[in-house]
Amino acid sequence: MDPIPLVHASLGERELAAVAEVFASGWPAGQGPKGKALEDQLARRYGAGGAVAVSNCGAALHLALLALGVRPGDEVIVADYTFPAPAHAVRYLDAVPVFADVRPGTGTVDPESVADLLGPRTVGVIAVDTVGLPADYAQLRPIVDRHGLFLVEDAACAVGATYQGREAGALAEVACLSFHGRKGATSGEGGALLSTDPAIAADARLRSSFGIGSIFDSSKVVGLPIPEFTEIGYNFKLSDIAAAILTVQVDRIDELLARRNAVAARYAELLADEELLTLPEVPDDRTHAWQTYAVTLDASVDRAAVAADLRGQGIGCGHGTWASHLQPVFEAKQECPVSADLFRRHLAIPMHAELRPDQVERVAERLRAAVRAHVRPQRT
């Protein structure tokens, strides 16, 4: 039987045609016409004061913290249960990531945990829309406002999701998106910083290009303008090739998300009565982007054996995401028990817009059989 991959990008003829336009233009590098078009498109979609297209979401997080003035020794509270890019971004600036535990049902950061971690060196909070589900911003906002902290939305996984009727990516003064190959809109790699404040976007744009303005813009000026390096910056630009792909993909977000929603709904039907796993929770006030469909296995189930079983049958699966505080690089001394438990028990099964109904049924059937076959014996 044909393999069923965990992820698959929905790229086709429209994206190829957009790339061909870039080839014909003679400007494949960053900050050219396609990059500008993408930034305008994102700013309109998210109602942002500015949008900056960059090489990946990790770069966007790094630029966001620079623009917000994070300094060595500052503490930034970060959601623990996530790919640890937020904590990496904090460490890039020699600041200290402080890991906040998450809610057991949603895996999103627990506002009570955030409040408990506030200290004299706390300067901000990075909330994460965990594997595509927005965090509890209505509860986080009063906490950060009361203490004069910044709030960054890591919406890497959540393109197309909503919270109380607002789109993920527009839920904080600064938001960061990812366009990695498994996301709802993709160019293989890529990211964006969105900000309600045009000054923050301008700061990020300058630093994303070694601290100088657009070479494409300066090449159009009559004479010989010579850019000056006014900041220590980075090479975080997104190529116009990738930007061209994304102008098509962003237009397709709703279409591709509808297909992911259909897959999620079918999984819910097929697995609803399986007592050895729990389905993803989506509160009534938000919608899911379904970057990942992660079930929570009963504690009695041997997850590694289930994964080996599924992969042996050509069905992709993964562990979900990370309990960041457990990663050796951070040497964290704190505990996040809910995050650690989800890290042990989550199992991601195939989720993308190209899944066929028969493949979804096959995944559910084989998953059900695998979890039943790999229950650990009870100790006596």
Judgement on whether residues 288 and 224 belong to the same structural domain of the protein: no
The answer to whether 167 and 132 are in contact (CB under 8 A) is: no
Give all strands of the β-sheet with 293-297 in edge-to-edge order: 277-278, 293-297, 346-349
Residue type for 236, please? F
Neighbours of 322 (CB within 10 A): 17
Catalytic residue among 34, 183, 220, 237: 183
Does some domain include residue 210?
yes
Judgement on whether residues 243 and 323 belong to the same structural domain of the protein: no
The pLDDT of residue 380 is: 58
The pair of three-digit structure tokens given for residue 123, joined into one six-digit string:
């300067």
Judgement on whether residues 150 and 281 belong to the same structural domain of the protein: no
Judgement on whether residues 245 and 274 belong to the same structural domain of the protein: no
The string of DSSP letters for 26-40 reads T--SBTSHHHHHHHH
Number of domains observed in the structure of the chain? 2
Assign residue 191 a region (left: φ > 0; alpha: ψ between -120 and 50; beta: otherwise).
Answer: beta
The pLDDT of residue 223 is: 83
Does some domain include residue 330?
yes
- Give the β-pairing of 174-178 and 191-195: antiparallel
The pLDDT of residue 224 is: 85
- Give the β-pairing of 162-163 and 286-287: antiparallel
Judgement on whether residues 225 and 320 belong to the same structural domain of the protein: no
The pair of three-digit structure tokens given for residue 209, joined into one six-digit string:
């290009």
The pLDDT of residue 182 is: 95
| Residues 6 or more apart whose Cβ sits within 8 Å of residue 16 | none
Judgement on whether residues 37 and 181 belong to the same structural domain of the protein: yes
Q: Which of 204, 235, 253 is the last residue of a domain?
A: 253
Judgement on whether residues 196 and 96 belong to the same structural domain of the protein: yes
Judgement on whether residues 223 and 146 belong to the same structural domain of the protein: yes
Predicted structure pTM score? 0.96
Which residues are registered as beta bridge partners of 192?
Answer: 53, 177
Residue written as tokens 């971004």?
89
- What radius of gyration do the chain's Cα atoms show? 21
Residue 183 is among the residues annotated as catalytic for this protein:
yes
Q: Which of 253, 281, 314 is the last residue of a domain?
A: 253
Judgement on whether residues 167 and 197 belong to the same structural domain of the protein: yes
Judgement on whether residues 271 and 347 belong to the same structural domain of the protein: yes
Residue 355 is part of which domain span? 254-373
The pLDDT of residue 378 is: 77
Segments of the chain scoring below 70 in pLDDT:
379-380
Judgement on whether residues 51 and 131 belong to the same structural domain of the protein: yes
Reduced to 3 states (helix: H, G, I; strand: E, B; else coil), residue 18 is helix
Does some domain include residue 380?
no
Judgement on whether residues 276 and 347 belong to the same structural domain of the protein: yes
Q: What is the CATH number of the domain that holds 258?
A: 3.90.1150.10
